[in-house]
Amino acid sequence: MKILSVNAGSSSLKFTLIEFPSKNTIASGLFEKIGMEGSMYTIKYNGEKIVKSAPLDDHSVAVSKLIDELIANKIVDSLEEIEGVGHRILHGGSEFTSSTLLDEDVLKRIEKYNELGPLHNPANIMGVRAFMKVLPNVKNVGVFDTTFHQTMKESEFLYPVPYEWYTEYGIRKYGFHGTSHRFIYKTISEYLKRDDLKVISCHIGNGGSLCAIDSGRVVDTTMGFTPLAGIMMGTRSGDIDPSIIPFVMKKTNMSAEEVINALNKKSGLLGISGLSSDGRDVENGANEGNERCILAQNMYAQKIANFIAMYNNLLNGADVITLTAGVGENSKTMRKMIIDRIQSLGVKIDDEKNDFRGEFRLISTDDSKIPVYVIPTNEELMIALDTLELIS
């Protein structure tokens, strides 16, 4: 049995083809600049790599091209081998509390939340409809970034604002990266053979969020009404005093949308370093003595450490801390900077164990009060697992 795991953007389509029960990735790839000049795609399989330029007028054309390549390269012998397509969907509001089978009626319900995820939801839905058109007999499943966080209590997901803002406009903390946090919790629970773990899951990449999880239930998470909240990120500011927004508007004559755009795309590591949003570039700059890169690194590590300490208190003592995503999996420097800032919790890093990239490993010392694991995330597999469960 083969399942396609799909993440559609406004002009892109990323896919992974996974075989069950082995859970092996058979092929993966990316279609870029859909609906634009210079459109192209890359497909990797069996150690091979296909890179082609091709006109991709819309997502349906991209999906058709994907299917043609899968057949032509004998990645699948027939379309009947593809038994389900799982789709990453950013926002399901409060309504969608688990992954769900998709049809046109469900898609219309999801569209109600497009205003909460205007950059992602319409594109995600566009990808679903493209697969429905090209593969009409294959079942589609929606896996939402927000569903895992729907287990938060009202006391954690509400903001201290007029209550009617929540009841009338849906203003509350939704949280994101839920598929990744759920995968990490599932992985560490299976590894330690416990289903009652209290875990602080740190998904730190270009985007980043932390999640406090108790026995599979989310207690709190750093991202909020939008993915702009929480820790400092590659280009996002994370939490700031909201009064900054009208102040900057008056000083610069920028609109609210322009200020929010700056907070989303020109802040974070990029805004402080003035060099790059990529943690690798900032780390290289810091190693060369660039003072703003050093400042950016220190701010980034401290803000993550602060949330770890807060979540440890919220959980009344965590059993495990996990680090994942681009920075968490690959930067031994940032991992050490973060852990060194939570020594008050009795957490200690083993520098020798920490000297690696992209593997599942324990990196804390034997006498660390809380063990720290690096766990590579696999959202595509989590999407495929949900899809397999629902189509079965």
Coil/strand/helix, residue 321: strand
Coil/strand/helix, residue 265: helix
The two tokens of residue 202 are 């740190």
The whole-angstrom separation of Cα 224 and Cα 216 is: 19
Per DSSP (E only), the strands in the chain are: 2-8, 13-19, 24-32, 40-45, 48-53, 82-89, 100-102, 139-144, 198-204, 208-214, 217-221, 320-324, 361-362, 372-374
The whole-angstrom separation of Cα 177 and Cα 170 is: 20
Residues 6+ apart with CB under 8 A from 47: none
* Active-site option among 58, 77, 145, 386: 145
Could you confirm whether 145 is annotated as catalytic?
Answer: yes
| Partners of 140 in beta bridges | 85, 102
The whole-angstrom separation of Cα 125 and Cα 260 is: 24
% helix / strand / coil in the chain, to the nearest 5? Answer: 40, 20, 40
DSSP notation for 218-247: EEEES--SSTTSSS--SS---S--TTHHHH
Q: Is 55 exposed, middle or buried (0-12, 13-18, 19+ CB in 10 A)?
A: exposed
The two tokens of residue 310 are 């807060």
Coil/strand/helix, residue 189: helix
- Give, rounded to a whole angstrom, the gap between the first and last alpha carbons of the chain: 11
The whole-angstrom separation of Cα 50 and Cα 251 is: 51
CB burial of 364-381 (b: ≥16 within 10 Å; e: otherwise) equals: bbeebebbbbbbbbbbbb
The two tokens of residue 193 are 């053979």
- Whats the size of the chain, residue-wise? 392
The catalytic residues are 145
